A and B are shown apart, each in its own frame.
Chain A
Amino acid sequence: MSELEDQFEELEIETLPLDAWHRARGGRMVEFAGYHMPVQYEGIIAEHLWTRKHAGLFDVSHMGQLQLSGEGVDAAVEALLPIDLSTLKLGMQRYSLLLDEDGGTLDDLMVSRWPESLYVVVNGATKWDDIAHLREHLPDEITLNHLDERALLALQGPEAFAALERHVSGEYPLSALIFMRFGKFMLGGAEVSISRSGYTGEDGFEISLPAEAAPRIADLLCGESEVKPIGLGARDSLRLEAGLPLYGHDLGPDTSPIEAGLNFAINKRRRSEGGFLGADRVLDELANGAPRKWVGLTLEGRQAAREGAEVFAGSEKVGVLTSGGFSPSLEKPIAAAYVSAAQAASGTALEIDVRGKRLAATVTTLPFVPHRYHR
């Protein structure tokens, strides 16, 4: 037997601050975004279900943590992103997109307002291109600081709050954070920045911390009965159930935010004023609709369909899968695809070609599994 499409091949590649920690915990290490990362510990399904019921600790230190500062930083960033920074107050975090001139997506990211700067978290596989793009387009007065001495952990799940609260202290309690807010806290003797956010659809937190404190704090959190370490495999199945697009698969230079259904990331003022890279296409698609839409698909039977599989309405090819796999929570295969706008309505019956076999699928409103954010 052989792996037909293993996206987690092992290569000689860089290590992250928790490398030895993952190996000691039995993590199976694979190459991802240029780093050795754990794809699983005890098994993807068990880790997935544990996170939905209790709390999972994810090492996402491969992601890029950037700090932008300088005179006029808001206006400079607004020239690139469709974000309204006038409404992003201290302590707030917001999802946004890095777009190219043609409205294609270079990355999706989180922007937070720090006292004298903006803090931005970008995807690991794209961080070097993002930094190059930002340096090229931002004026000289703006300083871009890559916080590569920091690690990033995500603690996700309905019991994440209880587990984390036992270990944090600060000016205000952890309960002061609601979804998409952040604050500075002390955790395990280190000064950390915690936001109430994540990419699983569950309540949870993302913790930016000094790299040297990462093993100690990972131990501290996994010492709580609610918490287990979770690998990339479950991270992928959790985010797909939550209907969250993954950059490099569901989003890319050939997809626009409106096609992807990320209209909420085009902030209100920017819709009327424009003035960001890619605005012509984005505003046109907002007004007139996009020719294709990113949709969820629920498959009949047990066989999964994977990224790249073609989607048909009768004999007509209407789209291509960008993600697909088995949903541990729903116990059936799910997928996501860009399909023609005419085939995008919830309930539309389509077929997916898997190695010459047609699997029946139905367009399903996203998310597949309801979000449980603490708003």
Chain B
Amino acid sequence: MPLYYTQDHEWIDVDGDTGTVGITDYAQGQLGDITFVELPEAGSTLKKGDAPCVVDSVKAASDVYAPVSGTVTEANAALEGEPELVNTDPEQGGWLFRLTLSDTSELDGLMDRVAYDEFVAGL
């Protein structure tokens, strides 16, 4: 399944018209200890660039943006009891929400892993 990355450090794992969204390992490292995640509700409609999710760390609260437009189908319920999953397993078990993409062509503007790693190396 292809993985795409944004300059705001979200990843989206796409299978057909379904995408799973999270934040990258680099992002969780910058945020530090995550203590709470405010998740979007299933059924909510997102435009690319909306901020449906807030990640609270000990020092700050940070928005997570929608990498693409779509409709939320599911949020990661495990984060309610274990928000630290975003620290320990950010690119697998610490996923944030799933959505049905409304326009898969929006993926064209995102980076692949090689491009994202180069982007982070340049920060």
Chain A residues in contact with chain B, CB under 8 A? 1-8, 39-40, 43-46, 233, 236-237, 301-304, 306, 325-326, 328, 333, 355
Contact with A44, one of B9, B54, B58 (Cβ below 8 angstroms): B58
In the complex, the answer to whether B32 meets A5 with C-beta atoms within 8 Å is no
B58 contacts A326, C-beta separation under 8 Å: yes
Q: How far is the CA of A204 from the CA of B48 in the complex (A)?
A: 51
Smallest Cβ-Cβ distance to A236: which chain B residue: B59
- From B33-41, B68-76, B102-110, the one touching the partner chain is B33-41
Q: How far is the CB of B92 from chain A (nearest CB, A)?
A: 18
- Given A1-B8, A233-B58, CB of A326 within 8 Å of CB of B35: yes
B3-38 interface bits toward A, Cβ cutoff 8 Å, 1 = contact, 0 = none = 000001110000000000001000100011101101
| Closest beta carbon of chain A to B58's beta carbon, Å | 4
Residue positions of B touching A, CB distance < 8 A: 8-10, 23, 27, 31-33, 35-36, 38, 54-56, 58-65, 83
Cβ contact within 8 Å between B62 and A3: yes
Which residues of A sit under 8 angstroms from B61, Cβ to Cβ?
4-5, 304, 306
What's the least CB distance linking A321 to chain B, in Å?
A: 13
User: B8 and A233: CB pair below 8 A?
Assistant: no
B62 touches A304 (CB 8 A): no
Q: A2-B63, A7-B60, A237-B58 are in contact. List 15 more A-B contacts (CB 8 A).
A: A1-B10, A1-B55, A1-B64, A3-B60, A4-B63, A6-B59, A7-B59, A43-B32, A44-B33, A45-B33, A233-B32, A236-B59, A303-B38, A304-B36, A326-B56
Closest B residue to A5 by CB, please name it: B60
Q: Which residues of A contact B36 (CB under 8 A)?
A: 301-304, 326, 333
Contact yes or no, A1 B27, CB < 8 A: yes
**Residue on B with the closest CB to A355?**
B54
Contacts of A39 in B (CB 8 A): 59
Instruction: List B contacts of A302 (CB < 8 A).
Output: 35-36, 56, 83
In the assembled complex, how far is the CB of residue B37 from the closest CB belonging to chain A, in whole angstroms?
A: 9
Q: Are A1 and B58 in contact (CB under 8 A)?
A: no
Cβ-defined contact, B55 with A44, below 8 A: no
Report A-chain residues with C-beta under 8 Å of the C-beta of B8: 1-2
CA distance A22 to B63 in the complex (A): 30
Q: Is the CB of B35 within 8 A of A304?
A: yes
Central interface residue in B33, B55, B64, by most chain A CB within 10 Å: B33
Tell whether, in the assembled complex, residue B58 and residue A45 are in contact, meaning their CB atoms are under 8 Å apart.
yes
Quick one: closest A residue to B28, CB to CB?
Answer: A1
CB proximity of B91 to chain A, nearest CB, Å: 14
CA gap between A250 and B88 in the complex, in Å: 34
Contact between A1 and B59 (Cβ–Cβ < 8 Å)?
Answer: no
The 7 closest A-B pairs by CB, nearest first: A302-B36, A326-B35, A44-B58, A45-B33, A1-B64, A303-B36, A6-B60
CA distance A324 to B91 in the complex (A): 29
- Pick the contact of A1 from B32, B38, B62, B83 — CB < 8 Å? B62
**Interchain Cβ contacts under 8 Å between A and B, 27 examples:** A1-B62, A1-B63, A1-B65, A2-B8, A2-B65, A3-B31, A4-B60, A4-B61, A4-B62, A4-B63, A7-B60, A43-B32, A44-B33, A44-B58, A45-B33, A45-B58, A233-B32, A233-B58, A237-B58, A302-B56, A303-B38, A304-B35, A325-B58, A326-B56, A326-B58, A333-B35, A333-B36
- Tell me how far the C-beta of B56 lies from the nearest C-beta in chain A, rounded to whole angstroms: 5
Q: How far is the CA of A156 from the CA of B36 in the complex (A)?
A: 28
Given contacts A1-B8, A40-B32, A44-B32, contact A303 B58 (CB under 8 A): no
Inter-chain CA distance A40–B33, complex, in Å, is 11
CA distance in complex: A46, B87 (Å): 13
Contact A1 B35 (CB under 8 A): no
